Amino acid sequence: MKKRTTKNNKNDNCWSTIGVWGNAQEKCDRLGEVIHCRNCDVFLMAGRGVFESRPPVGYLTQWQKEISIKKEERKKGDIGVMVFRLGKEWLALPVEYLQEIVEEKKVHKIPHNEGVYILGIVNIGGEVNTCYSLMNLLEIDENTDKNDSQLRRLIVMVVNGDRFVLPVCEISGLARYSSSDLLPAPATLGEKMGTYLVGMFQVENHQVAALNVEQIYRGFEGIAV
Amino acid sequence: MQYVKFNLDEFRYVLSITDVIEIIPYVKLTSLPNLPDYLAGLFNYRGSSVPVIDLCSLFLKRPCNKKLSTRIIVVEVIGKNSVKKMVGLMVEKATEIIKVEEDSFMDAGVYGDDLPYIGPVIADSAGLISRIHPSEIFLQIDNEILFPAA
């Protein structure tokens, strides 16, 4: 194996001195070969070192509980969705439109825009994106007893090449359903929301409304134009 | 084929992932009096009682350390009278899965019942790694404890 011959030959955290995260004049010789530190075994082995420590308090007890529970076979479905909460409603959007989920960040209001559907613009990874209110589009009431700001996230969706940023109250995770399991939306739902739904399905103990992305896209498009 | 790599001191072993049911951290085990040293105890694995064999005790005569990298590999072994049984193998430094071509395994060149188990080996930049099959571990231990006599 080729030895690193640079002056700054320190085995500990070389990635932040002579590696890609460092600003030393002289870069590590191995970079030519591995391109990025994350491909280098020095960096890899340093990461593995984390496992050579004692487990954090509560870690083993939590695992003990987890592995004593019988595994239940999960129902398989053909449509993968991301389940999230808006107000009291649990909703789902197909994963193929999902690009990213980021922590809630400041949405900058657009001057002279009093619209209820466009909340403003937001910086996602250095790109300016328009932030839309799915809550207002679906006419969902935000008031619930569980409104934890820690759980709030921004979903970045790409539909027909356009990026949408949608703030949500909470992300539950990924789920699957098959189209035959879908139940019709209850009549008690608002008329507005009904037009954006594909149907309802059950995840664990809550009813989730599967949303029709194309309809939502058209909904927002109609407003934006 | 993919293999889970672990260490017995300096010597490294790989175990085919097709033999593995699950890899979990070393959880607290229920010990029983008069168990041989290599039987670290029993634990509740998803509703069934599974004995755990400490490979460090078995081969190195010292228990596995208590680090995050020490893990229990749950495997199914076939014992006497072709009885299938789940056991946990407690090993150190189980932090990596590697890809190995089947035909790159070669004969180790040393044999003997007194040696810690050694099977076909592969070479990498740090030395040799031996393949181990869960059932082969049981050649070294008293089967009467884990498999009821017929």
Q: A60 touching B, CB under 8 A?
A: yes
For residue A53, the distance in angstroms to the closest alpha carbon of chain B comes to 5
Are A95 and A62 within one domain? no
Residue A79: pLDDT band (50, 70, 90) is: confident
> A168 burial class (0-12, 13-18, 19+ CB within 10 angstroms)?
buried
Give me A51's structure tokens.
Answer: 């496992």
Indicate if the pLDDT at residue A205 is higher than 70: yes
Given A59, A60, A67, which is nearest B45 (Cβ)? A67
Among the listed ranges A84-88, A113-117, B86-90, which one has the minimum average pLDDT value? A113-117
Q: A21 touching B, CB under 8 A?
A: no
Average pLDDT over residues A168-176: 90
pLDDT given for residue A43 in this prediction: 85
Nearest Cα residue to B127 out of B2, B1, B3, B13:
B13
Give the number of beta-carbon pairs within 8 Å between A and B.
Answer: 51
Average pLDDT over residues B1-28: 90
Domains of chain B: 2-142 (2.40.50.180)
Among chain B residues, the shortest Cα distance to A1 is held by B125
Q: Is residue A218 part of a domain?
A: yes
Of A24, A46, A69, which residue sits at a domain end? A69
Looking at residue A147, its amino acid is N
By residue range, what is the domain housing residue A42? 10-69
Among the listed ranges A2-6, A81-85, A91-95, B125-129, which one has the minimum average pLDDT value? A2-6
Residues of chain A with C-beta less than 8 angstroms from the C-beta of B68: 50-55
CATH code for the domain of A148: 2.40.50.180
Q: Is A180 helix (H, G, I), strand (E, B) or coil?
A: helix
- Identify whether the C-beta of residue B6 lies closer than 8 Å to the C-beta of residue B91: yes
Are A85 and A45 within one domain? no
Are A54 and A95 within one domain? no
Nearest Cα residue to A132 out of A197, A225, A223:
A223
Indicate if the pLDDT at residue B138 is higher than 90: no
Kindly list the distances between the CA atom of residue B110 and the CA atoms of A223, B11, B57, in Å, as whole numbers in the listed order: 77, 14, 22
CA distance A213 to A94: 8
Q: Is residue A2 part of a domain?
A: no
Nearest Cα residue to B12 out of B100, B128, B133:
B128
For residue B66, the distance in angstroms to the closest alpha carbon of chain A comes to 7
Residues of chain A with C-beta less than 8 angstroms from the C-beta of B21: none
Could you report the per-residue pLDDT of A57-68, keeping only the tens digit for each? 888 888 888 888
Q: Of the segments A12-21, A72-81, B133-142, which one has the largest average pLDDT value? A: A12-21
Indicate if the pLDDT at residue A173 is higher than 50: yes
Given A52, A64, A69, which is nearest B27 (Cβ)? A64
Indicate if the pLDDT at residue A167 is higher than 60: yes
What are phi and psi for residue A78, nearest 5 degrees?
-100, -15
Report the sign of the C-alpha dihedral through residues B130, B16, B48, B26, in that order: positive
Q: What is the mean pLDDT of chain A?
A: 83
Q: A51 touching B, CB under 8 A?
A: yes
Are A122 and A207 within one domain? yes
Indicate if the pLDDT at residue A72 is higher than 60: yes
Give me B37's structure tokens.
Answer: 């040293």
Asked if A48's CB is within 8 angstroms of B46's CB, the reply is no
Are A192 and A212 within one domain? yes
Give me A223's structure tokens.
Answer: 């407003």
Domain total in chain A: 2
Q: Is residue A178 part of a domain?
A: yes
Percent of chain B with pLDDT over 90: 23
Say which DSSP state A151 is in: G
Could you report the per-residue pLDDT of B34-82, keeping only the tens digit for each? 888 888 999 999 988 999 999 888 888 898 888 888 999 999 887 766 7
CA distance A96 to A103: 20
Please, which residues have CB within 8 angstroms of residue B41's CB and are 6 or more apart in sequence?
B29, B30, B31, B32, B35, B51, B52
pLDDT given for residue A168 in this prediction: 92
Q: Is residue A3 part of a domain?
A: no
Name the more confident of A37 and A143.
A37
Among the listed ranges A52-56, A118-122, B92-96, B139-143, which one has the minimum average pLDDT value? B139-143
Could you report the per-residue pLDDT of A26-42, keeping only the tens digit for each? 888 888 888 888 888 88
Please, which residues have CB within 8 angstroms of residue B8's CB and are 6 or more apart in sequence?
B55, B56, B59, B60, B91, B92, B116
Among the listed ranges A121-125, A137-141, B107-111, which one has the minimum average pLDDT value? B107-111
Q: Is residue A74 part of a domain?
A: no
For residue B27, the distance in angstroms to the closest alpha carbon of chain A comes to 6
Indicate if the pLDDT at residue A156 is higher than 80: yes
Q: Is residue A162 part of a domain?
A: yes
ipTM above 0.85, yes or no: no
Name the more confident of A8 and A188.
A188
Are A154 and A211 within one domain? yes
Interface test with B, best of A1, A40, A45, A51 (most B CBs within 10 A): A51
Indicate if the pLDDT at residue A74 is higher than 70: no
Residue A144: pLDDT band (50, 70, 90) is: low
Are A128 and A200 within one domain? yes
Q: B44 touching A, CB under 8 A?
A: yes
Q: What is the separation of C-alpha A42 from the centre of its chain, rounded to a whole number of angstroms? A: 31
Among chain A residues, the shortest Cα distance to B45 is held by A68
Number of alpha carbons in the 13 Å side-chain half-sphere of residue B103: 0
Are A28 and A86 within one domain? no
pLDDT given for residue A142 in this prediction: 75
What are phi and psi for residue A167, nearest 5 degrees?
-75, 140
Are A64 and A85 within one domain? no
Residue B140: pLDDT band (50, 70, 90) is: low
For residue A204, the distance in angstroms to the closest alpha carbon of chain B comes to 20
Of A69, A98, A119, which residue sits at a domain end? A69
Residues of chain A with C-beta less than 8 angstroms from the C-beta of B28: 60-61, 64
Average pLDDT over residues A64-85: 82
